[in-house]
Amino acid sequence: MSDREIIDLEFPVRSSEHILFSCLSTPSGLSEWFCDDVNSRGETFSFFWDGSEEVAKLVKSKKNTFIQFKWESDEGPSGFSFEFRIETDELTGDTLLRVTDHVESDEVEEMKLLWTSQVASLLRHIGG
């Protein structure tokens, strides 16, 4: 297994925390921008892309603040695989979306581009 690195990306968002959190934490919200479809049963989320399925467990969340998921296939030492965190810029008062992901060291740039593209789709969806 190769080394894992943490990537931490921050995106300004023009949306309320409530709307943004709904897009990050519900099957219908996630299927609008993150993947083709999402099913959930309790704390288990099944994500579908082009006919393939990945399963993640909801690790922890706080309404309108953050949500953490861990892929079932992730054997990394971290308590979570990826996290969405909603923050407020102290200087400007703007809403920020922080995405933290644990990725293979040889995939850092590719994953940064993927998250940037995914979040751009989210922003188009919510108009933010």
Structure tokens at 49: 């892309």
Q: What is the pLDDT of residues 33-62, one digit of tens each?
A: 999 999 999 999 999 999 899 999 999 999
Question: CB neighbours (10 Å) of residue 11?
Answer: 16
Domain count across the chain: 1
Q: What is the pLDDT of residues 104-120, one digit of tens each?
A: 999 999 999 999 999 99
**According to the model, what pLDDT value does residue 79 have?**
77
pTM of the model: 0.91
Greatest alpha-carbon pair distance for the chain in Å reads: 44
**According to the model, what pLDDT value does residue 1 have?**
45
Q: The CATH number of the domain where 40 resides is what?
A: 3.30.530.20
